[in-house]
Amino acid sequence: MSGMNRQGRPSSIDNTAHGGTHSTFTGNKALELEEPLLFELDNPGACGVDLDEPEPFSSRLGNFERQGRIGLASVSEPEVVRHFVRLSSKNYSIDAGLYPLGSCTMKHNPRLNEKMARLPGIGDVHPLQPQQTVQGALELMSELAHWLKELTGMPGVALSPKAGAHGELCGMMAIRAALIARGEDDQRSRVLVPESAHGTNPATAALLGYKVDSIPATRDGRVDLEAFKAKLGPDVAAIMLTNPNTCGLFERDIVEIADAVHEAGAYFYCDGANFNAIVGRVRPGDLGVDAMHINLHKTFSTPHGGGGPGAGPVVFSEALAPFAPLPYVVSGKDGFRVVETEEAAKADGTQPFGRMTAFHGQMGMFVRALAYMMSHGSDGLRQVAEDAVLNANYVLASLKDDMSAPFEGPCMHEALFDDRFLKGTGVETLDFAKAMIDEGYHPMTMYFPLVVHGALLIEPTETESKQSIDLFISTLKDLARAAKSNDKDRFTGAPYMSPRRRLDETAAARKPVLRWAPPMPAQAAE
Ligand SMILES: *Cc1c(COP(=O)(O)O)cnc(C)c1O
């Protein structure tokens, strides 16, 4: 039953394939309900509320009055509720199951955080309120800044960046401002970035006009120290290094790297996306880091992944702290105050490079992150890191004989595999990941980091139970066994049981269809 629906999309999954039972009249499969686009549900005249006819009025819009229909779907309240509930049930989430997406730290979002963020007086504050009416909110921001500085051992912090990548931009702009202040901006045009870096690192450096120079990795998955030293010179502005790195490994030479960077007159930007592995155990400030973003939505459990806005505060060393962007919160004898202008900053003795956002950052995420920190305490946060590393090593040790691990020895918070175990099976990393969807798992990170062929990067996080991780491990063992015993069909056609099968991801990215067009009249469509 693989017809096309009115939008020319496959009308339903072919659920007769691969052990499926039979097709249904509706296209629904028990609790899994087919759902058209909202526009296809359009029922002109339907409305969620009864509005009185407006009193006669004369328009003041002149020629700007809309001529045609606005083009939004007309639906009743129950229809709109069902539509979005049905769609939401098609979305995999951390509340539905294990989400092993390496480098993304998809951990449980404690409900206490949500409760705090919704408190009246926190949920309802507005960034344009007079400062004396939001002293509590400012104190909360100041407290969060304090925790971030304590946990990282760094004296300055900018709270406003709204994602990790935005934090990278903020950190690199502070580095540029420091170089300008030293009169060395023109001469320092190169940024060193290891091969295994997240794509946002070279993108950030390139966006600021720096030349990106890549540092090779050693065979054990770390920065090649000699190659790195050979690249240092008077034209280097900074190194952007992730630690633990994206292979899930601690950069053992990090202090030596920091010393060499500083000796060359450059700055050390650390990508702190993997802070979950070391929070409470290692202070990046002690390692010689000058600037580091912290993804509150990873380490400090605020929702993300299509589920919420990110927040990427950046911590700064003594050398860079004066250049941190506006706005920032200070406390004085009259309470808390936001420094928002260059003039106010001058009086405060700082030289901000500018500002990153219109207001103050993601307040709701600040509340959630601080609730997470305070409910765990410093000992609890240390345990977070220890359990995250323990869980990842349990996955690595349990699977390394069935799959293949590119590097010897234990890992940090994520376990990296390559595709050697699939050699000769006709199954590729992508197929393997798709088969995981049929088993009810979100796939792990695939084909990243690029330094490993066909990479599969698994991050279980500390919030999974042993039972949950055991089932996941058994599932991957079963899939690895199936791949090696020639059950290629289970993979190359997967997923069989999802609402949609294999999509043309390249076409979707290159030629996205972003506008809905009304269907053609029936005869023309035939
Ligand atoms: C997630 C991540 C980033 C980017 O963070 P966003 O919040 O997604 O912008 C950068 N580097 C690494 C290593 C990451 O894992």
Give, for ligand 1, the residue of 271, 275, 276, 302 to mutate: max count of ligand atoms closer than 8 Å to Cβ. 271
HSE of 134, CA atoms in CB hemisphere, 13 A? 20
DSSP E strands in 287-399: the ranges are 291-293, 314-316, 328-332, 335-339
**In this model, does residue 411 exceed pLDDT 70?**
yes
The answer to whether residues 153 and 290 belong to one domain is: yes
The pLDDT of residue 523 is 61
The per-residue pLDDT of the chain, averaged, comes to 93
Residue 79 domain flag: no
Q: Which domain holds residue 242?
A: 113-371
The answer to whether residues 255 and 156 belong to one domain is: yes
Residue 17 domain flag: no
Taking each helix axis from N to C terminus, what angle separates 363-399 and 466-484, rounded to the nearest 10 degrees? 50
**In this model, does residue 218 exceed pLDDT 90?**
yes
Q: Which atom of ligand 1 is nearest to the CA of 163?
A: 7
Give, for ligand 1, the residue of 295, 298, 461 to mutate: max count of ligand atoms closer than 8 Å to Cβ. 295
Averaged pLDDT for residues 257-275: 98
CA of 171 to the centre of ligand 1 (A): 14
How far apart, in whole angstroms, are the C-alpha atoms of residue 370 and residue 110? 12
CA of 142 to the centre of ligand 1 (A): 24
Q: Which atom of ligand 1 is nearest to the CA of 167?
A: 9
Q: Which of 337, 371, 405 is the last residue of a domain?
A: 371
Q: Are 452 and 444 in contact (CB under 8 A)?
A: no
Return the closest-CA partner of residue 462 out of 399, 392, 367.
392
The pLDDT of residue 48 is 87
Averaged pLDDT for residues 433-460: 97
Beta bridge partners of 458: 101, 415
CA of 417 to the centre of ligand 1 (A): 20
The answer to whether residues 291 and 335 belong to one domain is: yes
The answer to whether residues 284 and 162 belong to one domain is: yes
Residue 103 domain flag: no
For residue 325, what is the DSSP state? P
Averaged pLDDT for residues 163-185: 97
For residue 280, what is the DSSP state? T
How far apart, in whole angstroms, are the C-alpha atoms of residue 471 and residue 399? 12
Q: Which atom of ligand 1 is nearest to the CA of 295?
A: 7
The residue among 521 and 145 whose pLDDT is bigger is: 145
Q: Strands 190-194 and 211-215: what pairing?
A: parallel
Question: CA dist 337 to 120, 223, 245, 345, 352, Å?
Answer: 22, 43, 38, 12, 16
CA of 459 to the centre of ligand 1 (A): 14
Percent of the chain with pLDDT over 70: 94
Q: Are 103 and 457 in contact (CB under 8 A)?
A: yes
Give, for ligand 1, the residue of 169, 200, 304 to mutate: max count of ligand atoms closer than 8 Å to Cβ. 200
For residue 435, give the 3-state DSSP assignment: helix
The pLDDT of residue 269 is 98
The pLDDT of residue 228 is 97
The answer to whether residues 125 and 216 belong to one domain is: yes
Beta bridge partners of 416: 457
Q: Residue 150 is part of a domain; what is its CATH number?
A: 3.40.640.10
Q: Which atom of ligand 1 is nearest to the CA of 242?
A: 13
- Which residue has the least CA distance to atom 15 on ligand 1? 103
Q: Which of 347, 371, 395 is the last residue of a domain?
A: 371
In this predicted structure, which of 12-21, 52-61, 145-154, 490-499 has the lowest mean pLDDT?
Answer: 12-21
Residue 93 domain flag: no
Residues having CB closer than 6 A to ligand 1 are 103-104, 163-165, 198, 200, 242, 246, 271, 273, 295, 310, 312
Q: Residue 464 is part of a domain; what is its CATH number?
A: 3.90.1150.10
The answer to whether residues 400 and 324 belong to one domain is: no
Residue 171 domain flag: yes
The answer to whether residues 326 and 413 belong to one domain is: no
Return the closest-CA partner of residue 292 out of 240, 254, 359.
240
Alpha helices in 284-362 (DSSP H): 296-299, 342-347
**In this model, does residue 238 exceed pLDDT 70?**
yes
The answer to whether residues 319 and 430 belong to one domain is: no
Instruction: Domain count for the chain, please give it.
Output: 2
